[in-house]
Amino acid sequence: MSRKFFGGVHPFEGKSLTENCPIQVLPAPEQVLIPVVLHIGAPCEPVVNVGDHVNLGQLIAKATAAVAADIHSSVSGTVAAIEPRLHANGKMVQTIVIDNDMQDTIDESVVPHTAEVEADPKALTEIVRKAGIVGMGGAAFPTAVKITSGLGKVDNIIINAAECEPYITADHRIMLEQPEEVLEGVRMLTKLFELPYATFVVENNKKAAINKLREFVKDDNGDIRIKVHKTLYPQGAEKQLIQSVTKRQVPPGGLPADVGCVVFNDYTCWAINRAVKTGMPAIDRVVSVTGPGIKNPGNYRVRVGTPVRKLIEAAGGLTDNAQKVLMGGPMMGIAIYDLDVPVVKGTNCILVLTDKENRSVAEPNCIRCGRCVAACPMKLMPGTIYHYERAKDIAMLQKLHVTDCIECGCCTFICAGRLDITQSIKMAKAQVNALRAKK
Amino acid sequence: MQNTDIKLTISSSPHLRTSEGTSSIMLDVIIALIPALAVSMYIFGIQALIVTAVSVIFSVFFEWAYRKLLHKSKTIGDFSAIVTGILLAYCLPVSTPLWIIVVGDFFAIVIVKQLFGGIGQNFVNPALAARAFLFSYPVVMSTWVKPLSYTSFLDTNMTDAVTGATPLASLSNSVLPEGINLMQAFFGQIGGSMGEISAFALILGGIYLIIRRVITPRIPLAYLLTVAVLTFIFPRGNNNLIWMAWNLFSGGVMLGAIFMATDYATSPITPVGQIIYGIGCGLLTVFIRYFGSYPEGTSYAILLMNICVWLIDKATMPRRFGYTREMKQAEKAKLKSEKAAAKEANA
């Protein structure tokens, strides 16, 4: 229960808004918009044409690059268009638009794989790949790629159920409502990696979920070991989680596998379990629609490709003083300006903030309080980077190891002078990376 | 859907900020300084309040006027000028004529702080720099009113006030002060600058600041421990412990360690740097007290360390996450071999 990683901050948790709201199923919309980029990595290649009929769970875009994940139709219906549409990341992305026929005809490729996995745990990697599962905690890194990069190198499997971002309760609800499914997924991964146990990390602000899981995990030395960590942001950041569980530090520019660790989100485990038991690929997910700017906050099971507008409508709409709509949590989420952008596989939250949460000022001023240095989990000097970024001193930015930044946002959060430090660091990283690419 | 025409704001993450900002921090510092003012008023009478009030009013006025004249944004709302005003008053004798205080405020706010760009940009502590500047009036700056010597609490006539020596003056002659005991000194019944007399009140304020997380204990502890250790080891012919206690409770070292050396703008931002800076302040304070011609060394010690802050920060950059000793050595070896190769190529 102690503080085990560097720095960190403790923002207002805000989880009470939705932590007691059971997951409601949001009916599929009349039209879904499925971008060919639902993950971190290269875009997929569409394998359907305009006018084609597609079934629920049918492969509609195939991963061609090494880091990518297959994309499946989240409804049954007709492909209405394949054209660039606005993505939550702010770019125009090739998007497969499907008119829903409201039949939810399940594709014939959706068949259980339980027997295969029981016969050979190694078959799981291929099933995960074909189901297009990505890291469901928000980062959306293709899970199959993660498995392959870690196989044979790791001695520690960590399940990330920290859900350290304020307001989000999607992971909390899935652990509370379907704990067996989550734990079953964890067991499959543990068997795949041929390890004796997995460490399951939850933050201590999710008492209900912890108690529920403990009902199913009685043995403290069994194949799943639940660890309760003190709530501190960014507990759920991969490097920080590894540090707090194993005391190992992922080297700069390295991967978790370099220190013998692999980390999966608890919701990813749930998705893996479903892909094995029913064959259903990643076509929906639980999204917390919450925040002070939402009339009736709640948790919803939503099809991938549903426009954000539908979620907000389901939750009673925006309040009059709503100011920002975020996809993701308040610390790392993306502010969107068009409510028609679709939910993607990594969308764990639609958060609406009001003008009351906005504490930015017109003329921010560094008072050198040093709080950013104390809060930085990567042990950088964020305030100093800010000043050198403004001076465009790229050589100095490299010396300050700006590319180590995980963009958790602690520095901006804690800044007494109200500087946008994280934003500056992101720009600095882009400049340093561009320079490296040139060389 | 309702609210379709709502205007959405976009910005880079994160979208939350802590409620603690510059003004709330400065307000905490002001609160922490109140006990010292209360003791000062008890010891020196109402004049202590008047001196402080004048200093605050003119600090804020100069900040407001400078920013107004140069068409810059209004900054008096961050309360930092109030803190500077209080701190300057605290390091002056209570008998300082008010016009000299106004000169000091001008120097602190306009010359030291605003000319360098305002809050956070000054490289020396404004209050201490102004105090050093005011030594252009040496007689005024070393006239010490005797504690509890006022005839009436509301007496503001300082010209015929009873003056006396401060404990520091006798300490600089290697003699323990006479006529007062350590307890009296600890609670503030001694001569000296207005705000520095009561170690007790200052420690109270310091604890408040640490609890409120405005400051970390690093700088004050490193500073005070250094002074304590040095004075304990070199008691100049006195009892070690008593000599050490007198050195800690008299003069400006408590005020300096808790409120001046911890000034954000002029102290290091790295944890290791803060400790080095605190130790440096302590060393210089004792050196000046022992070997200088002037009995007090706190303000000059801090000013000298202020100008080293950039160097300390640079030298004490925290070790980045995941960076091991082996990596450091490998990198050093690589740099060395590269340099050698370059030399060979040149030759």
| A413:B16 CB<8 A | yes
- Report whether B145 contacts B161 (CB < 8 A): yes
- Report the pLDDT value the prediction gives residue B172, as an integer from 0 to 100: 84
Name the residue in chain A with its Cα closest to that of B7: A323
C-beta atoms of A400 and B317 within 8 A: yes
The reported pLDDT for the residue numbered B3 is 47
The residues pairing with A352 across neighbouring beta strands, listed in sequence order, are A325
User: For residues B158 and B272, what is the distance between their CA atoms, to the nearest angstrom?
Assistant: 45
Structural domains of chain A, ranges and CATH numbers in brackets: 110-277 (3.40.50.11540), 371-438 (no CATH)
Token pair in block for residue A384: 């100093």
**3-state class (DSSP) for residue B297:** coil
Scanning B117-136 for CB atoms below 8 A from A yields: 118-120
Complex ipTM value: 0.89
Residue B217 with chain A: CB contacts under 8 Å: none
What is the crossing angle of helices A170-177 and A266-277, to 10°?
Answer: 50
Alpha helices in A308-419, H assignment, sequence order? 308-314, 371-375, 382-390, 394-399, 410-414
Contact between chains at A374 and B271 (C-beta distance less than 8 A) = yes
**Backbone angle region of B94, left / alpha / beta, with phi > 0 → left and psi within -120 to 50 → alpha:** alpha
Rounded Cα distance between B115 and B97, Å, is: 26
Whether residues B271 and A416 touch (CB distance < 8 A) is answered with: no
Check residue B2 and give its pLDDT: 45
* B12 close to A (CB below 8 A): yes
Nearest C-alpha of chain B: how many angstroms from A346?
17
Residue of A nearest to B9 (CA): A324
Report the residue of A10, A168, A373 to disrupt the B interface, i.e. the one with the largest count of B CBs within 10 Å.
A373
Best A240, A363, A369 member to test B by mutation, with max B CBs in 10 Å, is A369
Cα distance from B347 to chain A (closest Cα, Å)? 27
**Is A379 close to B271, i.e. CB distance below 8 A?**
no
> From first to last of its 347 residues, what are the pLDDT tens digits of chain B?
444 557 888 899 899 999 999 999 999 999 999 999 999 999 999 999 999 999 999 999 999 999 999 999 999 999 999 999 999 999 999 999 999 999 999 999 999 999 999 999 999 999 999 999 999 888 888 888 888 888 788 777 777 777 888 888 888 888 888 888 899 999 999 889 999 999 999 999 999 999 999 999 999 999 999 999 999 999 988 889 999 999 999 889 999 999 999 999 999 999 999 999 999 999 999 999 999 888 888 999 999 999 999 999 999 999 999 888 888 888 888 888 888 888 888 87
B269 to A381: CB separation less than 8 angstroms, yes or no: yes
> Which residues of chain A make contact with B73, given a CB cutoff of 8 A?
362-363
**Residue A167 C-alpha, separation from nearest chain B C-alpha, in angstroms:** 11
Q: Please list every residue in chain B whose beta carbon sits closer than 8 Å to the beta carbon of residue A422.
A: 12-14
Q: What are phi and psi of A71, to 5 degrees?
A: -120, 135
Which residues from A are below 8 Å from B265, CB to CB? 367-368
- Which of A232, A295, A365 to mutate against chain B (most B CBs within 10 Å)? A365
Chain B neighbors of A337, CB-CB under 8 A: 8, 10
- A369 contacts B322? CB cut-off 8 A: no
B179 and A CB contact within 8 Å: no
Q: Is B326 on the interface with A (CB under 8 A)?
A: no
Q: Would residue A396 be called left, alpha or beta, if left means φ above 0 and alpha means ψ between -120 and 50 degrees?
A: alpha
pLDDT value at position B132? 94
Smallest CA–CA distance, residue A188 to chain B, in Å, is 30
Task: Measure in Å the smallest separation between the Cα of A128 and chain B Cα atoms.
Answer: 31
Among A324, A339, A380, the residue with its CB nearest the CB of B9 is: A324
Q: Which of A334, A380, A404 sits opposite B13 (nearest CB)?
A: A334
Which amino acid is it at B297?
A: G
> Which residue of B5, B7, B11, B15 is the best one to mutate when testing the A interface, meaning the one whose CB has the most A CBs within 10 A?
B15
- Six-digit token string for B328: 């450091």
Planar angle of CA A167, A169, A172, nearest 5 degrees: 145
Tokens (6 digits) for A111: 């068949």
The amino acid occupying position A226 is I
Q: Do B323 and A252 touch (CB under 8 A)?
A: yes
B320 touches A: beta carbon within 8 Å: yes
Which residues, numbered 206 to 235 in chain A, qualify as contacts with chain B under a Cβ-Cβ cut-off of 8 Å? none
Q: Do A373 and B320 touch (CB under 8 A)?
A: no
Measure the N-to-C terminal CA separation of chain A; round to a whole number of Å.
Answer: 46
A11: chain B residues, CB-CB within 8 Å: 16, 18
Angstrom distances, CA of residue A332 to CA of A220, A233, A312, A377 = 33, 11, 20, 15
For residue B149, give the nearest of B121, B115, B190 by alpha carbon.
Answer: B190
- Does B2 contact A at CB distance below 8 Å? yes
Are B261 and B124 within 8 A, CB to CB? no
- Closest-CA residue of B relative to A355 is B9
Contacts with A417 from chain B: Cβ below 8 Å: 21-22, 120
Topology of domain B22-315 in CATH is Ammonium transporter fold (1.10.3430)
CA torsion, ordered B80, B26, B119, B132, to nearest 10 deg = 60
The per-residue pLDDT for range A196-222, each reduced to its tens digit, is 999 999 999 999 999 999 999 888 788
Cβ within 8 Å, pair B3-A318: yes
Q: Is some CB atom of chain A closer than 8 A to the CB atom of B316?
A: no
Determine whether the interchain pair A416/B20 forms a contact, defined as Cβ–Cβ distance below 8 Å: yes
* Ordered mean pLDDT values, 10 residues apiece, chain A (439 residues): 78 92 94 90 91 94 90 94 91 93 91 89 91 88 92 92 93 94 93 93 93 88 91 92 93 91 94 94 94 94 95 92 92 92 93 90 90 95 94 92 94 95 94 87
* Res B139: pLDDT: 85
pTM: 0.91
Query: Can you give the pLDDT at residue B143?
Result: 85
H-only helix segments in A154-237: 170-177, 179-192, 207-216
DSSP β-ladder status, A59-62 and A71-72: antiparallel
User: Which pair of tokens denotes residue A210?
Assistant: 């912890």
Residue A418 in contact with partner chain B when CB distance is under 8 A: yes
Q: Which candidate from B16, B269, B322 shows the least CB-CB separation from A373? A: B269
Q: Quick one: closest CA in A to B268, which residue?
A: A370
Q: How far apart are CA B59 and CA B76, in angstroms?
A: 10
List A residues 86-125 in contact with B (Cβ-Cβ < 8 A): none
